[in-house]
Amino acid sequence: MKEFAVFWGCTIPARFPFIEKSVRTVLNGMGLPWRDCEGFTCCPEKSLINNIDHGLWVLTGARNIAIVDEQGLDLVSPCTGCISNLATIKGELHVDHRKKEEVNSMLKEVGRKFTGRAGLNHLVPFFHDKVGAFRIKSAIKKDFRGMRFAVHYGCHMMRPYHALKNDDPLEPKKFDTLISWLGGESVNYMTKLTCCGQGLDRVDQHPTALQMARVKLKELKSIGVDAMVLCCPSCFLQFDNNQFLMEKEGESYGIPVLYFTDLLGLAMGYSPEELGLNQHRISVDGFLEKWERLWAARDTEKKIAEEFKEEGAFI
């Protein structure tokens, strides 16, 4: 596997350092060839910077990509927004050579050059495509058989498709497949591919943002999932933090929200504390208790089977 740099973005280090801890723990635990790179800035964020100054948005993204270009690395990000923005900028410069020349003339002033050779990957397709089933299954010590999960893809993991090309944007499967490799069941549900709505909080429409979260949480409660699994810091903010705010106002959904690396890390044998699960606003205790009960029941069944076998009984 080619060595890669992790692009953390802004939201994860600033607001959710426990997610960074979870990702670092899993990457190290699997022995993947990754490293941090000095010099990254905001990707930059599309809805604000791009709408104000498209040229500055492209230039900033190209500079970030140039950092890994120069070191011969690929780039992997646990933030869907970051990878969507960077891939869009890379694609734009690949088809517009004049703009690429303009960008590189400005980057030359700070000793950088954009080539676009670096591969850009979001964490979920990266684990599906590059890490693969064998390596993931080999790392599992305790799977999630008997557990039901609601995968939330979010908007930017596979969009825009022309730039990312990492899954079907209308019927994505890779995140669901990862859940099955961990032994869990990824359930289908009506609002699976809807936007989380968190972007509305950025434009002073908090009640509408809450309503979009509410619609999905109500459905997940009605179908009895054990947890929501996602891999986007904005979506995590919406469903963990805003669900907590709704609970303070008397609404009760009780849907634990897990990052993909939280789930993988648990399966690998890391403790909830090592993965930062105690920092989530919505408690994961009920989820963990059910998981332990299922494993205790399996252990009991295994012991009974072994006793019958020792006694020469036919099983």
Residue 203 has a pLDDT of 86
Other C-beta atoms within 10 Å of 307: how many?
10
Q: For the chain, how many residues are written?
A: 315
Classify 4 in phi/psi space as left (phi over 0), alpha (psi -120 to 50) or beta.
Answer: beta
Residue 301 has a pLDDT of 73
Other C-beta atoms within 10 Å of 9: how many?
27
| Rounded distance between C-alpha atoms, residue 308 and residue 299, angstroms | 14
* Residue given tokens 């960077």 in the structure block: 86
For helices 260-268 and 132-139, the axis angle rounded to 10 degrees is: 60
Residue 284 has a pLDDT of 98
Walking along the chain (315 residues) 10 residues at a time, the average pLDDT comes out as 97 97 98 98 90 96 98 98 97 97 98 97 98 98 98 95 94 98 98 95 92 97 98 98 96 97 98 98 98 91 71 58
Residue 44's Cα: distance from chain center in Å?
A: 18
What amino acid is encoded at 174 in this protein?
A: K
**Element housing 303 (H / E):** helix 285-310
CB 255 within 8 A of CB 243: yes
CB 103 within 8 A of CB 56: no
Tokens of 170: 């209308």
End-to-end CA distance of the chain: 44
Residue 313 has a pLDDT of 55
Residue 303 has a pLDDT of 73
Name, in order, each residue with C-beta under 8 angstroms of 273's C-beta and a sequence gap of 6 or more. Answer: none
| Rounded distance between C-alpha atoms, residue 44 and residue 48, angstroms | 9
| Rounded distance between C-alpha atoms, residue 44 and residue 51, angstroms | 11
Other C-beta atoms within 10 Å of 234: how many?
24
Residue 202 has a pLDDT of 83
**DSSP letter at 199?**
G
User: Could you tell me which of 165, 77, 73, 64 has the C-alpha nearest to residue 119?
Assistant: 73
Residue 46 has a pLDDT of 85
| Rounded distance between C-alpha atoms, residue 258 and residue 263, angstroms | 7
Rounded to 5, what percent of the chain is helix, strand, coil? 55, 10, 35
Other C-beta atoms within 10 Å of 286: how many?
13
| Rounded distance between C-alpha atoms, residue 197 and residue 24, angstroms | 28
Going along the chain from its start, the domains and CATH numbers come out as 4-122 (1.20.1050.140), 143-298 (3.40.50.11810)
pTM of the model: 0.94
DSSP sequence for 276-289: TGGG-SS--HHHHH
Instruction: Give the three-class secondary structure for 204.
Output: coil
Residue 23's Cα: distance from chain center in Å?
A: 9
Residue 183 has a pLDDT of 98
